[in-house]
Amino acid sequence: FIPYCSSDVWSGASSKSEKNEYAFMGALIIQEVIKELVGKGLSTAKVLLLAGSSAGGTGVLLNVDRVAEQLEEMGYQGIQVRGLADSGWFLDNKQYRRTDCIDTITCAPTEAIRRGIRYWNGIVPERCKLQFKEGEEWNCFFGYKIYPTLRCKCRRRHIKWVPSVSSANLEQSLFQTFCLLGPVFVVQWLFDEAQLTVDNVHLTGQPVQEGQWLYIQNLGRELRSTLKDVTASFAPACLSHEIITRNHWTDIQVKGTSLPRALHCWDRSLHESNKNGKAPLKGCPIHLIDSCPWPHCNPSCPTIRDQFTGQEMNVIQFLMHMGFDVQKMAQQQGLEPGKLLGMLSSGN
């Protein structure tokens, strides 16, 4: 466990000086920890899993390739480096209500990173950096932009000759099959509270306005869209922030599969594909994204509590609190209001 003392999304390489009052050295801290761990047993490991939540989740995306390259340079090519990014897959979307960038809460995500990267002397992976113009490196802090640039440590074993296909094409197709599994597992609430906060949607004691409600629903759709090509993902339709640090992390399910089960399947899939060149295992899903459209439409979501009274709310009470119009929504869905309420209660 590496405490988050650098406040730079694990990207900084700026030491304290006469000019800089603060040090931001998150990227260098990770490198030093890896060096230290090599002498404590990491040198004999088969797999190194970097895991992080929130800023730590974004930090995983920024550092997973750099750590792999560091270990290779140190002579440990046999260690597979993987990442588990929890609640760090932020969107650089348009805020619900634009505000001046006074502090980290009012600042739009893109502007916060633009400013931060200068303070921190932030390092981003070279492969991602090359995708953007000079000065646009901030793009690499957003999961859907950096993920396609992450490299995979692929194996080319067990390539069989098929007479009807040229050997070059066959090798390429199998090589891609191995790589499709990807080095990072993304865990992300579809309605992330931290995302809503930076987008200026504040769920206080008052019911949300219709515009906010539509914005929240659209956020879920946008997030779902950015995850469609992420091979290993777990995205419940809940309003929350961070999963793996919470004591209920084993209880949440997407399409009947828990996160521990999905992580187990991902581990098996990577192991099997590296060993035999097989595609992901049948009956062991690793791409799990809720399709229902509202916060907490998944019945396994964490318990909701009223922010003022602390009392628990069921899904219907929560949606009403959010300004959900049962009559109007039922009409849009072509359902009787009672039937819609029944479906919400059962999580359908």
Cβ atoms within 10 Å, residue 298: 22
The β-bridge partners of 254 are 257
Q: How many CA atoms lie within 13 A of 95 on its CB side?
A: 20
Q: Residue 157: which residues within 8 A CB-CB, separation 6 or more?
A: 277
Q: Residue 337: which residues within 8 A CB-CB, separation 6 or more?
A: 326, 327, 330
* 192: annotated active-site residue: yes
E strands in the chain: 47-53, 80-86, 184-187, 191-192, 233-235, 239-240, 253-254, 257-258, 287-289, 304-305, 312-313
Catalytic residue, candidates 11, 14, 199, 241: 241
* Separation of alpha carbons 156 and 158, rounded Å: 7
The answer to whether residues 302 and 249 touch, using CB atoms and an 8 Å cutoff, is: no
Catalytic residue, candidates 8, 65, 86, 192: 192
The β-bridge partners of 239 are 191
Of residues 102, 123, 44, the one with CA closest to residue 76: 44
* Separation of alpha carbons 189 and 208, rounded Å: 20
The β-bridge partners of 233 are 186, 287
* 241: annotated active-site residue: yes
Measure CA 253 to chain center.
Answer: 16
Measured torsion, CA atoms of residues 34, 269, 276, 168, in degrees rounded to the nearest 10? -90
Q: Residue 107: which residues within 8 A CB-CB, separation 6 or more?
A: 101, 115, 198
* Separation of alpha carbons 329 and 340, rounded Å: 8
Q: Residue 334: which residues within 8 A CB-CB, separation 6 or more?
A: none
Catalytic residue, candidates 14, 54, 233, 273: 54
Cβ atoms within 10 Å, residue 26: 28
- Residue carrying structure tokens 């895991």: 51
- Which residues does the annotation mark as catalytic? 54, 192, 241
